[in-house]
Amino acid sequence: MQGGFVSVAKATITSLDPQKIVGGVPLGYGWTEVVINVPNISDAPLMRPYGRYRTIGTAVGVPIAWSSIHVVSALAIDHSGSRVISGCSLGSDLSSFYPSFKRGFGYHIRGYIGVSSL
């Protein structure tokens, strides 16, 4: 298995506010608060773990911070879950995406999955 960024969960965007407190710290610029609805890879690590929440599987239903670059519309993911159609991620300049990317369900969060040791 080759390493790379893949869809690790289906999620709901709950906040884009950099002042929002998530896991005891402000969300910050370039980050999105999401709630995991359906894990695709339960043992994938969280980008910003906190408390007992370390993996996708342990954080289902819990608000977590995720890098905005890796939050993509469910419509932008191909069936393999690995390719993102160009221009469909939130990106780093969130202000240009507010009209088209809104709070709500229908997003994938991507995480880095390393090379398998098998």
Domain range list for the chain: 4-113
Dist CA 84 CA 99 (whole Å): 20
- For residue range 49-77, list pLDDT tens digits in order: 999 999 999 999 999 999 988 888 766 55
Per-residue pLDDT, averaged over 20-37, amounts to 93
What percent of the chain is predicted at pLDDT more than 70?
63
- For residue range 73-97, list pLDDT tens digits in order: 766 554 444 444 334 444 434 444 4
Band of the pLDDT at 7, cuts 50, 70, 90?
Answer: confident
